[in-house]
Amino acid sequence: MSVLIAEQIEKSWGDRHVLRGCNIRVSQRDRAALVGNNGSGKSTLLKILAGIHEPDTGEVKLRGTIAVLHQRPELSGETVADAAAASVAWHATLLHDYEAALVDGNNNLAADLQDQLDHRGWTVEHQVSSVLGKVGAPPMDAKLASLSGGELRRVALATVLLQQPDVLLLDEPTNHLDADAVEWLQAFLIGYRGAVLLVTHDRYLLEAVAERIVEVNEGLCDNYQGSYADYLIQRAERRARLSVKRDRHLRMITQEAAWASRSPSARSTKQKARLQRLDTLRENVPQVTDRTFNFSFTSGIHAGTTLLQIRDLTKSFGDRTLFDGVNFEVRPKERLAILGRNGTGKSTLLKLIQNMYPPDRGSIDKYSRATIGVLDQARTGLNNTDTVLDAAGDGKRIVTIGDQDVAVQTFLGLFAFPRQMFEQKVSSLSGGEHARLLLAKLMLCGHQILLLDEPTNDLDLLTLRVLEEALLGFDGAVIIVSHDRAFVDRVATAVLSFDEDGQVVQYASRIQANAARDRARKAIAEVTTKTVSKPKGKAKKSQSRLSFKERSELGGLPALLEEKERIRAEKEAELGHPNTYKNRSNEIPALTAELESLVSQVQALYARWEDLEERA
């Protein structure tokens, strides 16, 4: 059964016709995703479906409840607790209605409401704390007015999920979430009992969650059954068919135009019909709207130069150390991705590199001829009163990148800004268009080092692929903070993993970093389990079952295990460092064997500890 139906939806903003007759149906347990270029109308359509905007024409029918996550959410109340309480107000209403039905003797209604409570939970306090914790929301007593944009987004996501509506509408739900939170959200959406309609640039999330793709294209909604990968294949096949149809159509126009040019002045009825047909053909040329990008983004820097070198970098705020003793360097054509949970210091590192404030200890050495370009999370760097053309080139029409002159108008075209948008004010751009313009400006400046903080937020999937291709072809150095798993996997040549204990370790890939993190968590869990499982409150067994030497051994095992774990972590980091594979490839077998031996030693020591504890 369909729980949400939209028929022939049309919407215009001024003289811009955004939606031209969209049709969409969302069924119970549906998992659908809206895709389309920035500015195609995805967010507008979501707001119309949610009842926030009225369509110019068309109708929306909703059976059940609906909740929507906006790109710029608004929350009720003064604190996080207030916003959370508002999101679960439905539960108090449900309990009240159930109790009233019992008092009134309405057994059928009471049974129905009891089923809902069995399904949705008789209490919600645990759900509230769990969901807020999973998305990384601030503490319950935090003031909403004091939160950053990312913190507000995380609270808003939690409040939408806690409403447990029949239809979830999510606009870029992974923005400002760390990797753990994204993976939790992915599992939550897969198991959600209602329907889900989401807009996201996270391709791994799309592939895992979506069972149907709705493409908003030229103001219409095109349906594709299957996953995101299935959609890409079907879309390519459809574009190929349209291309053939367009070529055939253009040939017919050529033939009709040739006849018209040869036709005598006298017009018979048949001739007039052919001329009308020519006009119709000209007005109805099939459109193939794929944008294509093909350009190289070069800085003109020498390949062997070390562009940035970080040595023993340490930074604390108050009594909290974010990171201690960070070391890395980047060279031309290297792209370093920084990974870690929110609050571990990733953005702080970028600010230190920009000299926004000094480190507590360590050095940052930059190649003297290199300049740094920055894309921050707040997307600063554009003047709202500038036109798109002036903002991109800082008022210039021709800019020089490396040793090449580039026309700003041409470059904007590559980033899908048509000429009619060149004189549009920056203030009128959508979030995705704003981000796209910033990226175009950044590339036009010819920097040798790029610092990109969550660069994929608000980008459509096509522009995201364009950015990837541009960075892969860039001959400078790039440092990226990103939770976009697919983006990191495709672009990064190495990763720098920020752990919660302040350790920063370099790995060859995100997969390798995750594997090391999982091993560390498992080791901690094992130690915790062994500590918790020690017998408490029981009479101590006689120490006579252990010899003096064994008692001494038992006392020294915790420190010995800690030392062995430290050495093992160092060896894993050494094996995970890209320079080990580049410069010491002949040592890899010996290092691997040494690590395996350490793992065996640690396991044997844990087993010995357990044996001695049982006998003690």
543 pLDDT above the threshold of 50:
no
Is there a domain that residue 612 lies in? yes
- HSE-CB at 451 with a 13 A cutoff on CA atoms is 20
CA distances from residue 24 to 1, 5, 53, 88, 481 in whole angstroms, order as listed: 14, 6, 16, 29, 36
Is there a domain that residue 190 lies in? no
Average pLDDT in the 58-70 region? 93
CB 40 within 8 A of CB 159: no
Tell whether 418 and 565 lie within a shared domain: no
Mean pLDDT of all residues belonging to the chain: 82
Tens of pLDDT, residue by residue over 388-434, are 999 998 888 888 766 778 888 888 887 778 888 899 999 888 777 88
236 pLDDT above the threshold of 50:
yes
Tell whether 501 and 601 lie within a shared domain: no
Looking at 449, 481, 506, which one is the last position of a domain? 506
State the Cα–Cα distance between residues 486 and 224, nearest whole angstrom.
22
Phi, psi (degrees; rounded to nearest 5) at 369: -90, -5
Tens of pLDDT, residue by residue over 316-370, are 888 888 888 899 999 999 999 999 888 888 889 999 999 998 899 999 999 988 8
Listed range (68-77, 109-118, 459-468) with the worst mean pLDDT: 459-468
Is there a domain that residue 5 lies in? no
The pairing of strands 66-69 and 167-171 is parallel
Is there a domain that residue 364 lies in? yes
Structural domain for 345, as ranges: 308-506
Which of 251-260, 453-462, 551-560 reaches the highest mean pLDDT?
A: 453-462
521 pLDDT above the threshold of 80:
no
Phi, psi (degrees; rounded to nearest 5) at 600: -65, -40
Average pLDDT in the 293-310 region? 72
124 pLDDT above the threshold of 60:
yes
288 pLDDT above the threshold of 60:
no
E strand intervals along 44-129: 57-62, 66-69
Tell whether 564 and 469 lie within a shared domain: no
pLDDT at 571: 75
**Hey, what amino acid is at 114?**
Q
83 pLDDT above the threshold of 80:
yes
Tell whether 347 and 419 lie within a shared domain: yes
Residue 286's pLDDT band, with cuts at 50, 70 and 90, is: low
Is there a domain that residue 414 lies in? yes
Q: Encoding tokens for residue 533?
A: 């499982």
Looking at 478, 506, 534, which one is the last position of a domain? 506
Which residues in 528-559 are b (16+ Cβ under 10 Å) and which e? Answer: eeeeeeeeeeeeeeeeeebeeebeeebeebee
Tell whether 406 and 484 lie within a shared domain: yes
Tell whether 500 and 552 lie within a shared domain: no
Residues 6+ away with beta carbon under 8 Å from 560: 605
Looking at 489, 506, 523, which one is the last position of a domain? 506
Average pLDDT in the 562-578 region? 71
Average pLDDT in the 438-451 region? 86
599 pLDDT above the threshold of 80:
no
518 pLDDT above the threshold of 60:
yes
542 pLDDT above the threshold of 50:
no
Tell whether 447 and 593 lie within a shared domain: no
Tell whether 486 and 570 lie within a shared domain: no
Tell whether 467 and 389 lie within a shared domain: yes
Is there a domain that residue 382 lies in? yes
CATH number of the domain at 458, please. 3.40.50.300
Tell whether 447 and 331 lie within a shared domain: yes
More confident residue, 296 or 568: 568
Tell whether 589 and 502 lie within a shared domain: no
Domain count, the chain: 2
Helix axes 80-87, 149-162, angle to 10 degrees: 30
- In 3D space, the residue among 132, 126, 139 whose CA is nearest the CA of residue 154 turns out to be 132
CB 348 within 8 A of CB 517: no
Tell whether 410 and 459 lie within a shared domain: yes
CATH number of the domain at 594, please. 1.10.287
84 pLDDT above the threshold of 50:
yes
Residue with tokens 């060859």: 508
Q: For 390-397, which contacts have Cβ atoms below 8 Å and span 24 or more sequence positions? A: 391/426, 391/437, 391/441, 392/417, 392/437, 392/440, 392/441, 392/444, 393/441, 393/444, 394/441
Is there a domain that residue 114 lies in? no
499 pLDDT above the threshold of 80:
no
Is there a domain that residue 609 lies in? yes
State the Cα–Cα distance between residues 461 and 455, nearest whole angstrom.
13
pLDDT at 576: 58
Which residues in 126-142 are b (16+ Cβ under 10 Å) and which e? Answer: ebbeebbebbbbbeeeb
Residue 387's pLDDT band, with cuts at 50, 70 and 90, is: very high
Residues 6+ away with beta carbon under 8 Å from 454: 175, 176, 377, 481, 482, 483, 484
